[in-house]
């Protein structure tokens, strides 16, 4: 009997062979995950007198009632220690015109803070959507933590087309 196991029942690669579970290398997974298209957000949290902020594509709307979203945050990300249950923070959805901000906030360091609201939650100024949130739960997610947050306040800006990310590139709709 063969000892080969599919990665998951019902999930197949395109060729005749299926990688064994052991063949789920980080590179293979990165390639698979890179084919997922998403929007782009900035997750920012005050750490007075500073603000920690990162670019994050692992954002998902979760619930209308109660209003919940989630974002997956890398275990080494600067913002993660600040996102304990009860912490207030901001998630901003970027428009296609804010592509440069996605690069700025993906960098480690303090650049780009002038693009965030100075008072209240550090939302990205001019973003099509801003969520002021409170962390509800933080779940283990392997090399990321899954942060489930309640939306306290919603800021709807211009209905500008969203910035997209797919295939390791920023893209526009169409
Ligand atoms: C397009 C893109 C999407 C990203 N998505 C996430 C994400 O969903 N979650 C996350 O923790 N980091 C994500 N990152 C990485 C962070 O933006 C950031 O680079 C990383 O946390 C290092 O910065 P830091 O030292 O300030 O934490 C993404 C980076 C890029 C360029």
CB 89 within 8 A of CB 52: no
The CA distance from 129 to 123, in Å, is: 9
Closest atom, ligand 1, to C-alpha of 78: 27
Question: What structural domains does the chain harbor?
Answer: 56-165 (2.30.110.10)
**In sequence order, which residues have a C-beta less than 8 Å from that of residue 161 and are 6 or more positions away?**
95, 96, 172, 173
**In the predicted structure, residue 64 carries a pLDDT above the cut 60:** yes
Q: Residue 99 C-alpha to ligand 1 middle, in angstroms? A: 14
The pLDDT of residue 21 is above 90 = no
Per-chain mean pLDDT for the chain: 91
Write the residue with the smallest CA distance to atom 14 of ligand 1.
Answer: 56
**pLDDT higher than 60, residue 6:** no
Confidence (pLDDT) at 34 = 98
Percent of the chain with pLDDT over 90: 84
Q: Strand locations in the chain, DSSP E?
A: 38-39, 41-47, 50-56, 59-63, 68-74, 88-93, 129-141, 144-156, 164-166, 169-171
Rounded mean pLDDT, 6-26: 58
Predicted local confidence at residue 68, as pLDDT: 98
Residue 54 reports pLDDT greater than 70: yes
Ligand 1 binding pocket includes 41 (Cβ within 6 Å): no
CA-to-CA distance for 102 and 40, rounded, in angstroms?
7
**In the chain, pLDDT over 70 holds for what percent of residues?**
87
pLDDT confidence band for 22 (50 / 70 / 90):
low
């Amino acid at each position: 009997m063969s000892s080969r196991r599919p990665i998951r029942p019902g999930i197949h690669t395109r060729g005749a062979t299926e990688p064994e579970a052991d063949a789920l290398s980080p590179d293979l997974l990165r390639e698979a995950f890179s084919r997922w298209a998403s929007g782009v957000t900035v997750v920012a949290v005050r750490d007075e007198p500073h603000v920690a902020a990162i670019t994050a594509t692992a954002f998902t709307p979760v619930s209308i009632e109660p209003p919940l979203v989630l974002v997956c945050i890398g275990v080494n990300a600067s913002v993660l220690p600040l996102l304990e249950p009860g912490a207030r923070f901001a998630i901003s959805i970027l428009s296609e015109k804010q592509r440069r901000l996605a690069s700025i906030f993906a960098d480690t360091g303090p650049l780009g803070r002038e693009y965030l609201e100075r008072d209240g939650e550090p939302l990205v100024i001019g973003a099509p959507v801003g969520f002021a949130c409170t962390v509800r739960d933080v779940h283990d997610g392997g090399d990321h933590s899954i942060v489930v947050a309640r939306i306290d306040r919603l800021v709807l800006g211009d209905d500008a087309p969203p910035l997209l990310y797919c295939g390791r590139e920023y893209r526009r709709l169409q």
